[in-house]
Structure 1
């Protein structure tokens, strides 16, 4: 089989295939691209076992039948140069003959190839249907999904189809501290339990057009999602498990006494102001007399910046503290308001177009207040007397007095040490079971990857044994010919 491609089209294919081909892998074939002909069209395929991506060429020339499996690093280098120049690949046993047109001259070389039978199976085709606005909503929700590897069921955008009416689909993403949802979509998903679409580099790639077709297939082996757009066909394994009941954490607007509304101009300014405020994580939002003020604090240093481009506050006065990165993510997603009952209640945002955002505030009690000198001395004296009495009763030496500042530091360290245990105790049995399941599943995935590496090593060993047998057979045939010669 011989194929000829233009560098412009090869460059387009390489840009997308790079989103799923791993940079380092113990399985050699996963670092390659498979070229094959289907339905009269030349296609390039890549996979990492969980994802499969296929690019269909429009201007390729093919001669003969078969498949070509070539290394991705080589293809990336071949794609450089003038878009009108061409590249030819031809399979020659376990080698690939490469002809690269550079400056009008043909440069021929030989590269290592892979056998077609080493390529992993990609599964059956998935029927797709129209999915208007799906990709745009998916990309809007993705920043709010969890990045914690131990919470696999939250590392996705959940497609919930339990709503009423024709446009019953809602996309949801959460990391446990914030939640974002977008409803009123019509998607070709029939499963009443919906589907959890993992957050992947390819679906977030800006080279993929937003007008896509979507399909979902669920079998005993698990669910798969197919997205088709232009020359691309992308299939990915759906996340297994049960998504949390997200509807119960979305507050209702009734009873919310405070509303912060940001203008686009102030939202753009906040992208520069908020990171520059003192402090690491928290940022304060203060509403008073119809205006909004940003507050940043680091120890005794405090900075307040009023928003002057039309942002407004409605209420009797408020102060709420939130994570500054979460605030910026919310603004980038297009949300321009906060509604809440008080400084300790969830903050609800509604864009008026079917999308909502929920953010949990941070608790901030301010820097520790210094105690008067007299009170400090009296407290220290009482503590010394108590320790002396205790030592006398137990016939032991009195212990040294710990200064209040050092004692507070020790208490903070103890609290930091016991916090994970307290959090573990606060988890319900079902939550602990879900966490254990996610950890076990991650370990199973690691085991599957290790087994795949073992299988690849076995295939390499079989291939070497086959070559060795062929060489032995060739030597024996040569000896037989020599023995048949009569002098």
Structure 2
């Protein structure tokens, strides 16, 4: 194999594929990235057996061939090469080493045979549709923070993607929850998505899709079955297994009878929560919201360090109410809202609270209260 290509193009592709590779591997070949040179340029491929990314790069191929090299070492070498340099890759020596040349720099890496590299066969993916990159990023960005990290509840360790049939037409929904908060975002279902199975996309896959889809102007091709998903964007193709589990009926936890309406300036509210939570304990993080006529008082009490209060004007004309929340969760939700104001609908101190930009907003958040 003998290939020459631009450092910037190689670095961009490596930045996508090397992240899939775990730092610690019991199977040596999984620590490597596959390089395959041919008529289409250079193909890079990495996998952890659950997730695979393949990306093609334009290259001048003097001699075809394939090998595998340590992914993180290769990425670090290319990252540190001078901007604008041309990188030459060549298999040398009887032991099959890869030589990397750029300007006056020369590196030699040990390789493993490409024949040992596993291929994540996707099988038949019957559902196919295209979605705008900006729309896909929106579905992920506004729900990702609520994904559970509790491994025992593995079915919550991802985003639930499904199509809901509503009176106004079919919608594509993304839902995530960790049991304390829930995020649901929807948009009009793309052509071809109707009839798709409800799937749970794993947390790591979600993060890689988010990084892969960089240009908001592009289109993303999505193919999926009940067990696998493939996302194609530009020259990159990501294939992943899905979580084999049943996502809970999230509609049961979305309150419908919350009659107390609080409208507050989003930025002012977030700043106030952030300020008073400075005093909160790392473990508790509880902030009490005391609501009365057109007034909200935020209070944090920490027996070890002191207390903090702040009062802001709000639009609220229901009965007085004291309710507590995790301040971190409040700030996470506030950062996802897009409007100048936040609409918070409450019932009582022990019931779930609903947060939106406005009535009928496409993004909806549910937050469980805390005892304070």
Q: Secondary structure at the match of 2:119?
A: coil
Residue 292 (1) aligns with residue 291 (2): no
Residues 207, 356 of structure 1: alpha-carbon distance in 2 compared, 3 angstrom cutoff: closer
- What residue is the counterpart of 2:109 in the other structure? 111
Alignment partner of 2:353 out of 347, 355, 365: 347
Q: Distance in 2 between matches of 1:265 and 1:178?
A: 20
Residues 114, 247 of structure 1: alpha-carbon distance in 2 compared, 3 angstrom cutoff: same
Residue 303 (1) aligns with residue 308 (2): yes
Q: Distance in 1 between matches of 2:213 and 2:15?
A: 8
Q: Distance in 1 between matches of 2:73 and 2:119?
A: 23
- What residue is the counterpart of 1:21 in the other structure? 21
Q: Distance in 2 between matches of 1:154 and 1:357?
A: 16
Deviations 1:332-372 (A, max 9, x none): 111723111112221011224211111111123xxxxxxxx
Deviations 1:38-63 (A, max 9, x none): 662322111111110112213x1112
Deviations 1:359-389 (A, max 9, x none): 111123xxxxxxxxxxxxxxxxxxxxxxxxx
- Report 1 or 2 for greater relative contact order, CA contacts < 8 Å, sequence distance ≥ 6: 2
- What residue is the counterpart of 2:177 in the other structure? 174
Higher helix share: 1
Residue 7 (1) aligns with residue 7 (2): yes
Q: Distance in 1 between matches of 2:115 and 2:273?
A: 52
Residue 322 (1) aligns with residue 325 (2): yes
| Residue 299 of structure 1, CA deviation | 3.3
User: For 1:81-92, what aligned pairs fall within 5 Å after superposition?
Assistant: 81-92=81-92
Residues 267, 20 of structure 1: alpha-carbon distance in 2 compared, 3 angstrom cutoff: farther
Residues 354, 293 of structure 1: alpha-carbon distance in 2 compared, 3 angstrom cutoff: same
Q: Distance in 1 between matches of 2:39 and 2:175?
A: 37
User: For 1:6-405, what aligned pairs fall within 5 Å after superposition?
Assistant: 6-37=6-37, 40-58=40-58, 60-79=59-78, 80-92=80-92, 94-102=95-103, 105=104, 107-124=105-122, 128-132=128-132, 133-164=135-166, 166-187=169-190, 188-191=192-195, 193-200=197-204, 201-205=207-211, 208-210=214-216, 211-218=218-225, 223-252=227-256, 254=257, 256-270=258-272, 272-279=274-281, 280-299=284-303, 301-307=306-312, 311-334=314-337, 336-352=342-358, 353-364=361-372
- What residue is the counterpart of 1:480 in the other structure? none
Q: Secondary structure at the match of 1:312?
A: coil
Q: Secondary structure at the match of 2:143?
A: helix
Q: Secondary structure at the match of 2:334?
A: helix
Higher strand share: 2
2:337, 2:356 within 8 Å by CA — same for their partners in 1?
Answer: no
2:51, 2:239 within 8 Å by CA — same for their partners in 1?
Answer: yes
1:168, 1:184 within 8 Å by CA — same for their partners in 2?
Answer: yes
Residues 234, 258 of structure 1: alpha-carbon distance in 2 compared, 3 angstrom cutoff: same
**5+ long unaligned stretches in structure 2:** none
1:214, 1:225 within 8 Å by CA — same for their partners in 2?
Answer: no
Structure 2 length normalisation: TM-score?
0.86
| Residue 278 of structure 1, CA deviation | 3.5
1:95, 1:110 within 8 Å by CA — same for their partners in 2?
Answer: no
Q: Distance in 1 between matches of 2:195 and 2:213?
A: 30
Q: Distance in 1 between matches of 2:28 and 2:328?
A: 39
Residues 195, 235 of structure 1: alpha-carbon distance in 2 compared, 3 angstrom cutoff: same
Q: Distance in 2 between matches of 1:11 and 1:64?
A: 21
**5+ long unaligned stretches in structure 1:** 365-487
1:209, 1:230 within 8 Å by CA — same for their partners in 2?
Answer: no
Aligned residues: 353
Q: For the aligned residues, what is the CA RMSD?
A: 2.4
Q: Distance in 2 between matches of 1:351 and 1:98?
A: 55
- What residue is the counterpart of 1:481 in the other structure? none
